[in-house]
């Protein structure tokens, strides 16, 4: 039903724009980061004509400046359930399960994002959404208190939920309802400079884990960062201090390469912001809270399970080596020599996902002739081309690195690694999509279509088998 889909895509665009405006107004340093990213993108495009032409061809130039993702942290089961319904209105579905308890962060998470190609092309905005795992708080008194405090808040406006209900029955919203929905939904993501707890309770939550204080002490799950796309993440990382922005020590993810893979990201350190705390008697006390930051990202090709296993293995050897931040980049580049940096090789070894298309030469050649009956030969003859499928998800080790850099290094904690995907999905109300299946499907759909265009439906069937 195209009408429905168009509607959701438009609402997502309206929403991400509104969120961006709100966040720039709330966090001026984020505005400064966005300016730096814009300047760097311009400079990169000025120097790299080929890149400019390719972005222009794929219609990406004008969308270069739209944010790619944001993140929130929820506290209660029904908050996650309803968040799924809210994001569904914007055409965003839960993809992937991320267990961050292994990295000392007491949350598990998913990414709400568009899943089909057309929607991703229109606006790829996604939200990394984590749920606090109160079951990982050892101190029972504190756990019960956190539960009680969270139990009293309502993070959605009644009207936002009403509009979600209308969308669920009608399959779409009118333009006026969409505007109203965006306004109402935005309220959930707003910053509150007044805590719902006393300074004393805040401190106890904070001592258990800074993230617990962040989730429990406020009226709602303030957006904690937004992330634009950069064309040159290394240049922005280096330039941040010159603009008075303090970057985290390292860029997360793979090293810089000719054939970019997965996702590279870095951020500036979260800001310490003034907060008013109120005790049970109504007495107020000033304090601070540190949660909000700005991030940038650069995406590459999605890896197959085989490619991902290689990535995870190489990365973990670098991490185990425990290099200092200064030596880290060199170590990383060194270890990743073991990862082919050539498109043909990545395809031949089945390390990455590609989108196939029939070339004009191929379409011409197949009129009246039989083409090679083998995929590699079709590629070699220039009848079939392949382009990298962009990785649209997150990386747990990187996410933990982003979390960690904002928690201060004194807060390294260890939780028993108890991944609990089933519990997460029960609370969510649906199963999360398997991202690998989505990429594999996109690849095989493109191949099938291309082979049909080349008049080789039998080959298409064989390739699909």
Residues that bind Ni ion (CB under 5 A): 295
Nearer to ligand OOG, 122 or 126 (CB): 126
Task: Give the C-alpha separation, 343 to 351, whole Å.
Answer: 10
How remote is the C-alpha of 335 from its chain's centroid?
A: 25
| DSSP letter assigned to residue 256 | P
Site string for ligand OOG, 73-112 (x = CB under 6 A): x---------------------------------------
User: Least distance to ligand OOG from the beta carbon of 222, Å?
Assistant: 10
Q: Which of 87, 128, 339, 391 binds ligand OOG (CB under 6 A)?
A: 128
Neighbour tally for 430: CB within 10 Å: 12
With CB under 5 to 8 Å by kind, the binding choice for 40 among ligand OOG, Ni ion, none is none
Nearer to Ni ion, 70 or 220 (CB): 70
Task: Give the C-alpha separation, 265 to 250, whole Å.
Answer: 9
Task: Give the C-alpha separation, 42 to 52, whole Å.
Answer: 10
Give residue for tokens 């079951």. Answer: 135
Give residue for tokens 């308890």. Answer: 101
Judge whether 369 and 73 are in contact, CB under 8 Å.
no
- Six-digit token string for 418: 């108890």
Nearer to ligand OOG, 212 or 402 (CB): 402
Site string for ligand OOG, 142-181 (x = CB under 6 A): ----------------------------------------
Confirm or reject binding of residue 371 to ligand OOG (CB under 6 A): no
User: Least distance to ligand OOG from the beta carbon of 128, Å?
Assistant: 4
Task: Give the C-alpha separation, 271 to 332, whole Å.
Answer: 29
User: Least distance to Ni ion from the beta carbon of 71, Å?
Assistant: 5
User: Least distance to Ni ion from the beta carbon of 64, Å?
Assistant: 18
Hey, which residues between 385 and 404 contact ligand OOG (CB under 6 A)?
Answer: 394, 398-399, 402-403
With CB under 5 to 8 Å by kind, the binding choice for 73 among ligand OOG, Ni ion, none is ligand OOG
Name the residue among 205, 227, 400 with its Cα closest to residue 289: 205
Strand partners, 94: 112
Task: Give the C-alpha separation, 359 to 14, whole Å.
Answer: 36
With CB under 5 to 8 Å by kind, the binding choice for 277 among Ni ion, ligand OOG, none is none
Residue nearest to ligand OOG (CB): 399
Confirm or reject binding of residue 265 to ligand OOG (CB under 6 A): yes
Q: Regarding beta strands 107-113 and 93-99, do their DSSP bridges make them parallel or antiparallel, or are they unpaired?
A: antiparallel
Nearer to ligand OOG, 199 or 251 (CB): 251
Nearer to ligand OOG, 172 or 225 (CB): 225
User: Least distance to ligand OOG from the beta carbon of 15, Å?
Assistant: 17
With CB under 5 to 8 Å by kind, the binding choice for 403 among Ni ion, ligand OOG, none is ligand OOG
Task: Give the C-alpha separation, 310 to 314, whole Å.
Answer: 6
Give residue for tokens 């009246």. Answer: 368
How remote is the C-alpha of 352 from its chain's centroid?
A: 19
Nearer to Ni ion, 293 or 439 (CB): 293
Hey, which residues between 218 and 257 contact ligand OOG (CB under 6 A)?
Answer: 224
Hey, which residues between 291 and 330 contact ligand OOG (CB under 6 A)?
Answer: 295
Nearer to Ni ion, 295 or 392 (CB): 295
Q: Which residues contact 223 (CB under 8 A, 6 or more apart)?
A: 19, 22, 23, 70, 71, 72, 189, 292
Task: Give the C-alpha separation, 213 to 107, whole Å.
Answer: 13
Give residue for tokens 């050649």. Answer: 365
With CB under 5 to 8 Å by kind, the binding choice for 339 among ligand OOG, Ni ion, none is none
Task: Give the C-alpha separation, 161 to 57, whole Å.
Answer: 40
User: Least distance to ligand OOG from the beta carbon of 308, Å?
Assistant: 16
Nearer to ligand OOG, 127 or 451 (CB): 127
Task: Give the C-alpha separation, 137 to 147, whole Å.
Answer: 11
Rule CB under 6 A: which residues touch ligand OOG?
71, 73, 128, 130, 224, 265, 295, 394, 398-399, 402-403
């Amino acid at each position: 039903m195209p009408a429905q889909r168009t509607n959701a895509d438009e609402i997502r665009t309206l929403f991400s724009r509104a969120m961006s405006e709100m966040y720039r107004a709330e966090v001026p340093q984020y505005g400064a980061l966005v300016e730096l990213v814009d300047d760097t993108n311009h400079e990169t495009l000025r120097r790299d004509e080929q890149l400019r032409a390719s972005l222009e061809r794929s219609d990406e130039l004008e969308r270069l400046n739209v944010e790619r993702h944001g993140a929130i942290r929820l506290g209660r089961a029904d908050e996650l359930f309803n968040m799924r319904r809210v994001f569904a209105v914007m055409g965003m579905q839960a993809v992937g399960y991320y267990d961050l308890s292994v990295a000392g962060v007491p949350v598990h998470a998913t990414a709400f994002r568009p899943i089909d190609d057309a929607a991703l092309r229109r606006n790829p905005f996604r939200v990394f959404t984590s749920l606090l795992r109160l079951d990982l708080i050892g101190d029972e008194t504190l756990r019960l208190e956190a539960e009680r405090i969270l139990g009293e808040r309502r993070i959605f406006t009644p009207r936002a939920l009403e509009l979600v209900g209308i969308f669920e029955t009608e399959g779409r919203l009118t333009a006026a309802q969409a505007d109203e929905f965006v306004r109402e939904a935005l309220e959930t993501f707003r910053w509150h400079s007044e805590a719902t707890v006393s300074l004393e309770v805040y401190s106890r939550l904070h001592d258990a884990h800074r993230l617990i204080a962040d989730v429990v002490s406020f009226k709602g799950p303030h957006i904690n960062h937004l992330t634009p796309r950069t064309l040159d993440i290394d240049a922005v990382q280096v330039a941040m201090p010159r603009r008075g922005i303090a970057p985290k020590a390292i860029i997360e993810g793979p090293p810089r390469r000719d054939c970019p893979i997965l996702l590279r990201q870095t951020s500036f350190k979260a800001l310490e912001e003034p907060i008013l705390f109120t005790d049970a008697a109504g007495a107020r006390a000033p304090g601070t809270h540190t949660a909000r930051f700005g991030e940038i990202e650069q995406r590459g090709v999605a890896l197959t399970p085989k490619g991902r296993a290689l990535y995870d293995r190489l990365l973990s050897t670098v991490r185990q080596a425990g290099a200092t931040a200064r030596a880290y980049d060199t170590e990383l580049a060194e270890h990743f020599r073991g990862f082919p940096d050539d498109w043909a090789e990545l395809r031949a070894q089945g390390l990455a996902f590609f989108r196939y298309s029939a070339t004009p030469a191929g379409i011409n050649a197949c009129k009246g002739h039989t083409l090679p009956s083998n995929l590699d030969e079709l590629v070699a003859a220039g009848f079939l081309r392949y382009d990298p499928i962009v990785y649209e998800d997150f990386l747990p080790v990187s996410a933990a690195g982003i979390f960690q850099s904002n928690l201060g290094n004194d807060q390294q904690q260890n939780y028993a690694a108890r991944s609990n995907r089933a519990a997460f999905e029960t609370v969510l109300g649906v199963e999360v999509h398997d991202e690998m299946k989505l990429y594999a499907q996109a690849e095989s759909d493109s191949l099938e279509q291309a082979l049909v265009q080349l008049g080789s439906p039998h080959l298409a069937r064989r390739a699909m088998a």
